[in-house]
A and B are shown apart, each in its own frame.
Chain A
Amino acid sequence: MNLFCVGLSHHNADVEAREYFAGHVESDRALRNCGCNEALVLSTCNRVEVYAASEKRVSTDEIARCLVRDDGPRRFAPAFYRYEGEKCAQHLFRVTSGLDSMVVGETEILGQAKKAYEAARATGAAGRYLHRLFQRAFRVAKQVRTHTEITRGAVSVGSVAVDLAHKIFGDLQNCKVLVLGAGETSERTIRALVSRGVADLRVSNRSPERGEALALAVNGRAIVFEQWLEQCGEIDILITSTSSEVPLLWQEKLAPMLRERIDRPLFIIDIAVPRDVAPDVNALDGVYLYDIDSLQSIAEQSLATRRAQVAAAEQIISQHVAEFDEMITRGLNCPVQSSEHPTVGIVEQGS
């Protein structure tokens, strides 16, 4: 039995090509008709891959044809990659561990692979070979996450800000957030905070219309720009991104607001350039000031840490590849009964 993987990913195909070969409802029948005993399509925003087991060799072109939605002339001729046997296992283990992802160590792909496998198992498209392969892949991913720091730290400015907020306040549900300036980055940061449960959002902008529009968009309330400073006694997180040429907040201005809230920290995220908050504010007790450079530096540090863990992760993967290859050679060397898992299936993921 041949175990193989044919696919396209962000490494070798643009989004248009990936969309074109993303598969369709008839792909399962097409894959079965072209000779796959077992097949699973992993279709995400960054990759389209077919994992299959077949008695006879099925060419890459045949697999690619099964993934195309229309019968019209082929608009793309991308270079599909193809991995067979242990290389196929190695590739899947790297994918589920996040080593092949656009952002090294991201964990979303593991969930997507699990969903794809569950759906294929439910339809009977995944048989003994794919079962062993994917179960092993999930184990490898778990081991890589546990034994290396491949998933450590946030790698974008917004997620770094949110994670720092979590490290200061723990549960973010009761945090009060004031956003000063209705820029694009501040909106992204707010959305990231909302995704972690922040409900009390206040937006203040020089132009009231833009402020109100953002407040409406994030389900917050608009604050008159002249009154934003008064909010500093109440809020937990301040996000500033105005286009002011001079700082809007400095130590002497903020210190009186902190007297009544000495045991509650204040997290200030200054993503404006030039900066809205003078650096000396960070010296105040209980105030944690991060500007765009410091957030970016943490994101880069996390990415560097993740990349440094790749070698350790590869080592874990190679051990499992060897074990899996041995298991396939010894225990699964008999052909799969065609009646056992006769169908193939396709699962499309949203991202």
Chain B
Amino acid sequence: MRGGIFRPMRFNFFAVGLGFIFQTAFLSIRGHALGHCPITNLFEVIVFVAWSIALFYMLVGPGYRLSLMGAFTAPLVVLLQLFALLAPIDKPHPVRLRANSWLEFHASISLVAYGAFALACIAGVMYLVQERQLKTHHLHSIFYHLPPLTDLFAAITRLLWWGFALYTLGLISGFFVGEPLPWIQITCAIGVWFLYGLILQGRYLHWFAPKRVAALCIVGFSAALTLLWGITFTAQTHTP
């Protein structure tokens, strides 16, 4: 809006881009040291998810002129990285893991899908904040810095599709791992898949208004995060 009108900010993009380069370098060094994809403990998983979020931000942000999503994305990435660095969670896996390309593919593609879901969740929060202010006519400072509603909704839809497609790929590849996985993990993973499938179905069949889709993105990501924590927790406590 005059001066307050949404304008993409290059700074956000380059700041996240720079962080992404460092994250890639870290994951690469760690991967070389381990001899496989660096997602063996909670620390690595969180860094990997933060990397995926930055990746999707850079893929989706410019496409929808949503560089200002960086204002929401960057703090989340920083928080995840800070938590990973400060919390005592960088414990080496108790046993040296055998190389299993299907397992690595399953885990890494699922975590990349988490990046898309996380960004959809961020866009959902932005949508709800913007929508509420438009409904109540109380426009706060943040209103002038948010992208238009329709652009946000288009970004949410695109991110949901990316996340859903990658998650489906991850889920299918999980059946080729060749190692027994806890049934609760499988059930929960399928539950999350169904939830996101339902959101997309509801979006296209007009069951849900955009506001509800945005809210469900937050619910979906919370469920996905709980599942991720459960998987990491069981993997660390029930190692043979």
Q: CB < 8 Å: which of B2, B148, B206, B211 contacts A169?
A: B148
The B-contacting residues of A in range 153-195, CB under 8 angstroms, are: 153-155, 159, 163-164, 166-170
Show the binding face of A for B, using Cβ within 8 Å: 105, 107, 145, 149-155, 159, 163-164, 166-170, 259-260, 262-263, 265, 282, 285-286, 288, 290, 294, 297-298, 301-302
Q: Which residues of B contact A263 (CB under 8 A)?
A: 153, 203, 206, 209-210
* Chain B proximity of A161: nearest CB distance (Å): 11
Q: Which residues of A contact B147 (CB under 8 A)?
A: 170
B150 is an interface residue with CB less than 8 A from chain A: yes
Query: Is B151 in contact with A170, judged by CB distance below 8 angstroms?
Result: yes
Query: Is A286 in contact with B5, judged by CB distance below 8 angstroms?
Result: no
Q: In the complex, A159 Cα to B1 Cα: how many Å?
A: 9
Query: Is B137 in contact with A265, judged by CB distance below 8 angstroms?
Result: no
Query: Is B1 in contact with A153, judged by CB distance below 8 angstroms?
Result: yes
B72 is an interface residue with CB less than 8 A from chain A: no
Tell me whether A169 and B137 are in contact in the complex, defined as CB-CB below 8 angstroms, given that A152-B4, A153-B2, A154-B1 are known contacts.
Answer: no
Tell me whether A166 and B2 are in contact in the complex, defined as CB-CB below 8 angstroms, given that A285-B211, A286-B209 are known contacts.
Answer: no
The A-contacting residues of B in range 139-170, CB under 8 angstroms, are: 139, 141, 143-144, 146-151, 153
Q: Which residues of B contact A167 (CB under 8 A)?
A: 1, 6, 130, 134, 143, 146, 148-149
Q: In the complex, A265 Cα to B151 Cα: how many Å?
A: 12
Query: Is A163 in contact with B148, judged by CB distance below 8 angstroms?
Result: no
Tell me whether A288 and B135 are in contact in the complex, defined as CB-CB below 8 angstroms, given that A167-B148, A168-B149, A263-B209 are known contacts.
Answer: yes
Tell me whether A170 and B2 are in contact in the complex, defined as CB-CB below 8 angstroms, given that A263-B210, A285-B211 are known contacts.
Answer: no
Tell me whether A166 and B148 are in contact in the complex, defined as CB-CB below 8 angstroms, given that A263-B209, A285-B211, A298-B139 are known contacts.
Answer: yes
Among residues of A, the one whose C-beta sits closest to the C-beta of B148 is: A170
Question: 28 A-B Cβ contacts within 8 A?
Answer: A107-B2, A107-B3, A149-B3, A149-B4, A151-B3, A152-B1, A152-B4, A153-B1, A153-B2, A154-B2, A159-B2, A163-B1, A163-B2, A163-B4, A166-B1, A166-B5, A167-B134, A167-B149, A168-B134, A168-B149, A170-B149, A259-B206, A262-B210, A265-B210, A285-B211, A288-B135, A290-B137, A302-B1
Tell me whether A285 and B134 are in contact in the complex, defined as CB-CB below 8 angstroms, given that A170-B151, A263-B153 are known contacts.
Answer: no
Query: Is B206 in contact with A262, judged by CB distance below 8 angstroms?
Result: yes
